[in-house]
Structure 1
Amino acid sequence: MAEPILEVTGLVKHYPLTRGVLLRRQVGAVKAVDGVDFTLGRGETLGLVGESGCGKSTVARLLCHLERPTAGTIRFRGEDVTGLSGRALKAVRRAVQMVFQDPYTSLNPRMTVGDIVGEPYEIHPEAAPRGDRRRRVRELLDVVGLDPEYAGRYPHQFSGGQRQRIGIARALALRPEVVVADEPVSALDVSVQAQVVNLLVRLQAEFGLSYVFIAHDLSVVRHISDRVGVMYLGRIVESGPAGAIYDHPTHPYTQALLSAVPVPDPAARDRRERIILTGDVPSPAAVPSGCRFRTRCWKARERCAREVPALAVPAVFRDAAGPAAHPSACHFAEERRPVPSENSGDSGDSGDSGGDGNGPG
């Protein structure tokens, strides 16, 4: 992996649940993020995937210091920036920018596009001389594929894809080193999604950016990511190179997610093994003991309720040098490929059939 630029260790964010009117007391906590670890290399793209409510967007806000973590550390360029404030925090925010999910509500409707893209220069005046800001705004619009003459228009005059390009231009204004993209294409049409993802890939090469790319669409994440972390109920349950995660998944949750990805090839679609999970995602305010996925897992045993599985290379793969030897938080990790690869004629590698009607089917 490239030189680390961002290191996250034991990241936790709990939101207190209180009761009472006059005398409020805490009776519990919503464990939105509950012990996340990962490293982002310089020039690398780390994809975070998972179902809605698993904590991806909370991780994004914590990385950009829009919220304070309950515990854990965030290190940027080797320095602990978790508890910074004032000018020190302002400097870090300049280097770590964010592209928001909704291009319709993330832009101020009362500001022109030129004012929106140029607003970071008002907050960080040292980034550009006042007389040079208009030229820089026009350059940024051109870089993201918009006509610089659009600087005088308002957000309502643009399509969703164009608005997201405006948001990307705003994120690039301060020449950041890390961009946290929180589901930047989920609100866009499929054809526009491809344009925006390709734009992000081009900008990464042009500006030397490092991305934390958050999405629930696994096909989009595979296209852009070097490494992938799969989140479930506030924790990463499997991580590794994108090819290893998609072609050699070992965690049951990852396998279930991959089995739900649309397959354009009719022949491969017929050979796909569909894994259907039963039950609902548990509440983050009442997290199951042991393995958090056990209430929906067809492999669950008594051990799963007692012991929390560590995110590490499973023992069965530790002596192997293959792509399945990547961290997976499962006591019974086993390689299983729900969607056959292009060169494979079978439907998977191994694993339980799950044909009891209560697990995958």
Structure 2
Amino acid sequence: MPATPSQPPEPAREPVLEVRDLAKLYPLTQGVVFKRQVGAVKAVDGVSFELRRGETLGVVGESGCGKSTLARLLVNLERPTAGEIRYRGEDITKLSGRALKAVRRNIQMVFQDPYTSLNPRMTVGDIIGEPFEIHPEVAPKGDRRRKVQELLDVVGLNPEYINRYPHQFSGGQRQRIGIARGLALNPEIIICDEPVSALDVSVQAQVVNLLARLQEEFALSYLFIAHDLSVVRHISDRVAVMYLGRFAELGTGTEIYDHPTHPYTQALLSAVPVPDPESRDGRERILLAGDVPSPADPPSGCRFRTRCWKAEDRCAVEVPPLAVPPAFQAPGGPAAHPSACHFAGVGGSGPR
């Protein structure tokens, strides 16, 4: 039989959001009346990536590593200290007024806590319809009630709930209301800042499946931030691992979960619970020494070096770039993805 012709590779999707060397520093001051700066917390420090059209980029990492600060920077709730955020080629960090308002219509956010992100004094109809007050061109005043009811139906809620208040809903239902509000202006990008971390496991699955369905229906691009590595693997096309304000590793779900090359990623994945006893017994558990350093005084060179079993003198001097390690630059290699480590390698034993 003749050999089956191989399928051509899928064309790369165009980037809708490009982030270059993004940084956010919060000054530390002393004194009550005459304040003077004595340092700075480096919440985000030199982050670069692309978000492609119709994809989900998951971001994982420990608490305090800068994930939520990154999310707030991308929607311009915080102004960056340095770097660029380009939407469709335009640097939105330099925009203000009407130009910034137009961009914000296309980049929306779903917040972490459905109990505090909704105004308890407003009805569901007012909460979801509030974006139309700022962008009246999206929905004429006489058509807003119908539009809100359509959005409730899209996220799986009864349109008749339009006059209810947030306290009359469960946590999962409130998060659906937050998602409906995010969809109101027909955005191209939605930043999801740990949208399921405050929900029960069964409800998490419902919200994640809803996000996946909406992405397919409306061609949305997601930046999905979460603690739960299993949730991120389920929904993400690519995954970025963040540590102390920087990306440690970036690749597809298969590359990150099956072939991690950065020691921090390997330690993080070794802590994921495994339900199968046989698989659990054969897996290496990597225990890291020490605590996460303070972002106000991060280590020189590689920020992970104080907890890394591979660290050498070079790691204290040179900052490892987020790039494909030289040992894995052969085309089609299992680990051909960026990793910010001088000694990156697939597998490898932990500290002994």
Q: For this structure pair, what is the TM-score category when the shorter chain's length is used for normalisation?
A: over 0.9
> Which stretch of the first structure deviates more once superposed, 320-329 or 186-195?
320-329
Instruction: Give the secondary-structure state (helix, strand or coil) at the position aligned to 2:86.
Output: strand
4+ residue segments displaced more than 3 Å = none
- Give the alignment partner of residue 349 of structure 2, picking from 330, 333, 352: 352
- Give the alignment partner of residue 147 of structure 2, picking from 90, 112, 136: 136
Q: 1:9 to 1:353 in 2, by over 3 A?
A: closer
1:89 to 2:86 alignment: no
| Partner of residue 133, structure 2 | 122
Q: 1:15 to 1:353 in 2, by over 3 A?
A: closer
Give the length in aligned residue pairs: 341
| Partner of residue 320, structure 2 | 309
| Partner of residue 205, structure 2 | 194
Q: For residue 260 of structure 2, what is the amino acid of its counterpart? A: P
| Partner of residue 26, structure 1 | 37
Q: For residue 2 of structure 1, what is the amino acid of its counterpart? A: R
How big is the alpha-carbon RMSD for the aligned residues of Structure 1 and Structure 2? 0.9
| Partner of residue 295, structure 2 | 284
Structure 1 residue runs of 5 or longer lacking an equivalent are 337-350, 356-361
Per-residue displacement from partner, 1:262-282 (whole Å, max 9, x unpaired)? 112222122221111121100
Distance in 2, matches of 1:274 and 1:21, equals 48
* Displacement of 1:352: 3.0
Per-residue displacement from partner, 1:168-203 (whole Å, max 9, x unpaired)? 000000000000000000000001100000000000
- Give the alignment partner of residue 54 of structure 2, picking from 43, 46, 58: 43
Distance in 1, matches of 2:221 and 2:58, equals 11
1:108 to 2:119 alignment: yes
Distance in 1, matches of 2:171 and 2:286, equals 33
Percent pairwise identity: 78
| Partner of residue 230, structure 2 | 219
Distance in 2, matches of 1:333 and 1:73, equals 28
| Partner of residue 240, structure 1 | 251
| Partner of residue 4, structure 2 | none
8 Å CA contact 2:287–2:350 kept in 1: the answer is no
| Partner of residue 180, structure 1 | 191
Distance in 1, matches of 2:149 and 2:32, equals 53
* Displacement of 1:35: 0.4
Q: For residue 108 of structure 1, what is the amino acid of its counterpart? A: N
Distance in 1, matches of 2:77 and 2:49, equals 19
Q: For residue 248 of structure 1, what is the amino acid of its counterpart? A: H
Instruction: Give the secondary-structure state (helix, strand or coil) at the position aligned to 2:24.
Output: strand
Per-residue displacement from partner, 1:28-87 (whole Å, max 9, x unpaired)? 000000000000000011111100000000000000000100000000011111111100
1:329 to 2:340 alignment: yes
Instruction: Give the secondary-structure state (helix, strand or coil) at the position aligned to 2:287.
Output: coil
1:71-90 to 2 correspondence within 5 Å? 71-90=82-101
* Displacement of 1:353: 4.5
| Partner of residue 275, structure 1 | 286
Distance in 2, matches of 1:11 and 1:259, equals 29
| Partner of residue 342, structure 1 | none
1:6 to 2:17 alignment: yes
Structure 2 residue runs of 5 or longer lacking an equivalent are 1-11
| Partner of residue 340, structure 1 | none
Distance in 2, matches of 1:354 and 1:72, equals 36
Q: For residue 99 of structure 1, what is the amino acid of its counterpart? A: V
Distance in 1, matches of 2:236 and 2:106, equals 21
Q: For residue 351 of structure 2, what is the amino acid of its counterpart? A: G
Distance in 2, matches of 1:159 and 1:86, equals 37
TM-score, length-scaled by structure 2: 0.95
Instruction: Give the secondary-structure state (helix, strand or coil) at the position aligned to 1:312.
Output: coil
* Displacement of 1:323: 2.5
TM-score, length-scaled by structure 1: 0.93
Q: For residue 128 of structure 2, what is the amino acid of its counterpart? A: V
